[in-house]
């Protein structure tokens, strides 16, 4: 498979605060890649650098072998969708209006939606199970409902690459599985490439082809879930004791946390 994203010697962060240091990796077309690591390791910053939200201080990011800084914004947004850790806007948009914003890269200024746009919006809302929320104002939605609406907006963009920052953090376990099953379907049936920051290591193990483990703004290791999710790696990076077993259904690595009091039992 050819490369969708190539990152070379990337450095960046926020004003006078470097977060990512000399990071290099690639994501092949059709892959689902998880970005994992403890809080403060640079996961969200890395995703924002790839998506052009943050300025690249050093290095380069290539999208299909083309520097992302050379893309006109609308062209870039027809290829890459970003689902961030957003909070509801103060404006009274309906859920459908939020999803319809995913069609902006395809419209000229003040151009109304055509039938293709309407179909894309309806399909995205159906896939994410938010059709019944279409007329609800976003301020009235739960955090999980809002997250699914934001995913629908990304799906409406019809892009080749979706970047997601902790997409399941506000979802219950049922919607977590539904959400990730949907991403898997898009990946397998439509060859959508997916890169996501994900905290739940067991979900990362089940749904990702490869993992990028970050530690203090640098890549600690990349590889398959079997390569990365070892007790040695996790105890080194996360500074906690874990037990790694195999999921009895999928045979993927499964992480069991060990409470500290069980390591040092009281007398």
pLDDT in single tens digits along all 267 residues of the chain: 699 999 999 999 887 788 999 999 999 999 999 999 999 999 999 999 999 999 888 999 999 999 999 999 999 999 999 998 766 666 789 999 999 999 999 988 877 888 999 999 999 999 888 999 999 998 898 878 888 899 899 999 999 999 999 988 878 888 888 889 989 988 998 889 999 999 999 999 999 999 999 999 999 999 999 999 999 999 999 999 999 999 999 999 999 988 877 666 555
pTM strictly above 0.85: yes
Angle, helices 115-127/143-156, rounded to nearest 10 degrees? 140
Tokens 């850790």 sit on residue: 85
Ordered DSSP codes for 201-245: HHHHHHH-SEEEEEETTEEEEEE-HHHH--HHHHHHHH-S-EEEE
- H-run or E-run covering 263: helix 260-263
Q: Which residues contact 151 (CB under 8 A, 6 or more apart)?
A: 83, 128, 164, 167, 179, 182
* Residue 260: both structure tokens together: 């500290």
Domains of the chain with CATH codes: 3-229 (3.40.50.300)
Burial of 178 (0-12, 13-18, 19+ CB in 10 A): middle
Query: Which alpha helices (H) appear in 51-197, and where do they start and end?
Result: 73-77, 95-100, 115-127, 143-156, 173-190
pLDDT of the residue at 142: 85
Distance, in Å, from the CA atom of 37 to the CA atom of 43, rounded to the nearest integer, reads 7
| Alpha-carbon dihedral 162, 42, 147, 247, rounded to 10 degrees | 80
Crossing angle for the helix pair 173-190 and 143-156, to the nearest 10 degrees: 10
From the CB of residue 131, how many other CB atoms can be counted at a distance below 10 Å?
A: 14
191 contacts 29 by C-beta, under 8 angstroms: yes
Q: What is the chain's alpha carbon radius of gyration, rounded to the nearest angstrom?
A: 19
- As given in the structure block, the two tokens for residue 142 are 């739960």
Q: Assign residue 264 a region: left if phi > 0, alpha if psi is -120 to 50, beta otherwise? A: beta
- Other Cβ atoms closer than 10 A to 20: 26
To which H or E segment does residue 43 belong?
A: helix 43-50
Q: Give the pLDDT confidence score for residue 88 in this predicted structure.
A: 60
């Amino acid at each position: 498979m050819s490369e969708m994203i190539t990152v070379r010697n990337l450095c960046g962060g926020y004003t006078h605060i470097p977060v990512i240091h000399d990071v290099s990796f690639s994501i092949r077309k059709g892959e689902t890649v998880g970005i994992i690591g403890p809080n403060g390791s640079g996961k969200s910053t890395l995703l924002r650098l790839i998506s052009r939200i943050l300025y690249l201080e050093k290095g380069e990011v290539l999208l299909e072998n083309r520097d992302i800084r050379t893309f006109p914004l609308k062209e870039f947004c027809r290829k890459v969708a970003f689902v961030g850790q957003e909070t509801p806007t103060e404006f009274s948009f309906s859920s459908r209006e939020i999803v319809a914003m995913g069609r902006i890269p395809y419209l000229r200024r003040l151009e109304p939606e055509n039938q293709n746009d309407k179909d894309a919006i309806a399909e995205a809302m159906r896939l994410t199970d938010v059709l019944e929320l279409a007329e609800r104002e976003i301020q009235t939605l739960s955090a999980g409902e809002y997250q699914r609406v934001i995913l629908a907006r990304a799906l409406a963009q019809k892009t080749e690459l979706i970047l997601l920052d902790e997409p399941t953090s506000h979802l219950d376990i049922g919607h977590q599985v539904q959400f990730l099953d949907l991403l898997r379907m898009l990946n397998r049936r439509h060859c959508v490439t997916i890169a996501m920051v994900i905290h739940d290591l067991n979900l990362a193990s089940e749904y990702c082809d490869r993992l990028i483990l970050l530690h203090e703004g640098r890549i600690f290791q990349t590889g398959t879930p079997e390569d990365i999710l070892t007790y040695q790696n996790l105890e080194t990076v996360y500074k906690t004791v874990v037990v790694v077993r195999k999921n009895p259904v999928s045979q993927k690595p499964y992480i069991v946390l060990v409470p500290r009091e069980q390591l040092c039992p009281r007398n």
